[in-house]
Amino acid sequence: MTTAENLLGQAEQAVRQLETAVALIVSGAPGADPQGTLVHAGGLSVLLTQAGAAAQPDQTLRIQADMLRGRYDSAMTRLGVTVTSAQLQPAPGHTPPSPPGYAYGIPVFTPIAPGNGSMAFHPGYAPPPPPYQGPVGTHPAPPAPPAPSAPPPTPKPRRRLKLPPELLRPLLTALTVAGGLLLAFSLYASWFGHLTYERNQRIMLDQLNEDLKISATIAAAPVAGDKDLSAVPKPGTPVSLLEIPKIGLREVVVQGTGTAELRSAVGHYRPSPMPGQIGNAVLAGHRNLYGRPFARMGELQAGDKITASSQEGRFTYTVETVQRARTGEQDFLSQATFVNRMTLLTTGDTEQPGGRLAVVARLDGRPAGLKILDQDRIKEDELGLGRDPGGWLPSIVWGLVTVGVLFVTILLYRRWRTISAYLLTTPPLLVAALLWFESVARLIPSTY
């Protein structure tokens, strides 16, 4: 049984009790209770209102509720009372709507002229207020549910480049390994570069000792057809032995200060005179990579000794000053000097990039009689802080070759036996990686 049916059942039973009580009052029978009947009528009015509201969705139940309301009105008429609307005075400026038979939702009973067997009640009597549900029989239909809002438009998916899974994964792996190779380059330039530097130094030291013996023999007893001691040496040729006891340095000096020469030794700046000759002899070397020959050069102080041995003898210099300058602030390569000097040049040891560290030393004693100068054009990477501009193309080409070899290597590892793929791909991969590293090294400042 639904709630509406239950309320209508209770209301029908209460209406029958009201009709019986009204009949007793009208007939004047003993035991009639007018006051109790009026209280019962007030509660029944509330019950009928609730039952009428609950019966609205069902037409049959709504008709039944209207019939019960009619019987209730008839019984109250027989009792001598009519249900009217009381004109109550609302607050100023506020006029709430009141349905017929209610005042602010409260049914008000107003007496009429008493007749035979009727009773008069106190004017303005109001039973307990029922919850207002609207006038009987005219309840509005429940509001319709709101219409569902239209879904937001779906954005069009962007077109993305999709590679087959069998190609995408090897490609990502190849790029990851290539990034690892870039990190490995730092190990190459420091550890492997240091090994190759030391090996080249041993080879060039033997070559320099042999050249010095030949030069001493020629100087002592020259013969027609002997080597020309005044000839300009080719780049990369050993020309001197540099020694600095204060920092434990003993390095072979080669002709030229380009990136290729400084990866094997300390370099001699070609437009300057040779160590021991008249003028400002300029030598340059790495401070961080490839043997780090000038790593401790900043520890030198005024008064420290520097020795240079060449085909013309052994020459000693005394340190005058240690200078630090940014790029372009001071030209340590200048030959405008009346004093015979040696300038050692490397990358600055400060946190500011692009700086230079220079040690300027004065020649002790007389200079050599020869003055050998190379008048050929100077390249950009021979100026101490420059890079080899010809290294960009090889770096890009060998980088692509290395990535391509990696890509093929990964594919072969997935399709072939591990040992076969390893034996076939390791040699070309190592060769491509080393050539790539050599090309990238040309882009590093020559004295870094």
pLDDT band at 387 (very low <50, low <70, confident <90, very high): low
Would you state the pLDDT for residue 365?
Answer: 87
* 170 or 100, which is more confident: 170
Helix or strand run (H / E) with residue 310: strand 305-310
User: Is pLDDT at 138 greater than 60 in this prediction?
Assistant: no
Could you give the domains of the chain? 3-88+98-111 (no CATH), 167-180+392-441 (no CATH), 192-217+232-385 (2.40.260.10)
Would you state the pLDDT for residue 384?
Answer: 59
Question: Rounded to the nearest 5°, which phi and psi values hold at 281?
Answer: -80, 120
pLDDT band at 407 (very low <50, low <70, confident <90, very high): confident
DSSP for residue 221: S
* 84 or 358, which is more confident: 358
Would you state the pLDDT for residue 389?
Answer: 66
Q: How many CA atoms lie within 13 A of 418 on its CB side?
A: 0
pLDDT > 70 in the chain, percent: 70
Q: What is the pLDDT of residues 271-281, one digit of tens each?
A: 888 898 888 89
Q: What is the pLDDT of residues 5-28, one digit of tens each?
A: 888 888 888 888 888 888 888 877
Q: What is the pLDDT of residues 304-361, one digit of tens each?
A: 999 999 888 899 999 998 888 776 555 666 666 778 889 998 887 765 556 788 899 9
Rounded average pLDDT over 254-262? 85
Which residues is 362 bridged to in the sheet? 318, 341
Rounded average pLDDT over 89-114? 39
Q: What is the pLDDT of residues 117-132, one digit of tens each?
A: 333 333 444 444 454 4
Mean per-residue pLDDT over the chain, rounded: 75
Tell me the torsion sign for CA atoms 317, 321, 326, 328.
negative
User: Is pLDDT at 204 greater than 60 in this prediction?
Assistant: yes
Would you state the pLDDT for residue 86?
Answer: 34
Would you state the pLDDT for residue 317?
Answer: 94
pLDDT > 90 in the chain, percent: 10
Would you state the pLDDT for residue 13?
Answer: 87
pTM for this model (two decimals): 0.54
Angle of helix 418-441 relative to helix 165-187, nearest 10 degrees? 50
Would you state the pLDDT for residue 108?
Answer: 39
Identify the burial level of 384 via C-beta atoms within 10 angstroms of its C-beta, where 0-12 means exposed, 13-18 middle and 19 or more buried.
Answer: buried
Distance of CA 398 to the CA centre of its chain: 31
User: Is pLDDT at 46 greater than 50 in this prediction?
Assistant: yes
* 157 or 114, which is more confident: 157
Cα–Cα distance, 345 to 361 (Å, whole number): 12
What type of residue sits at position 376?
A: D
User: Is pLDDT at 442 greater than 60 in this prediction?
Assistant: yes
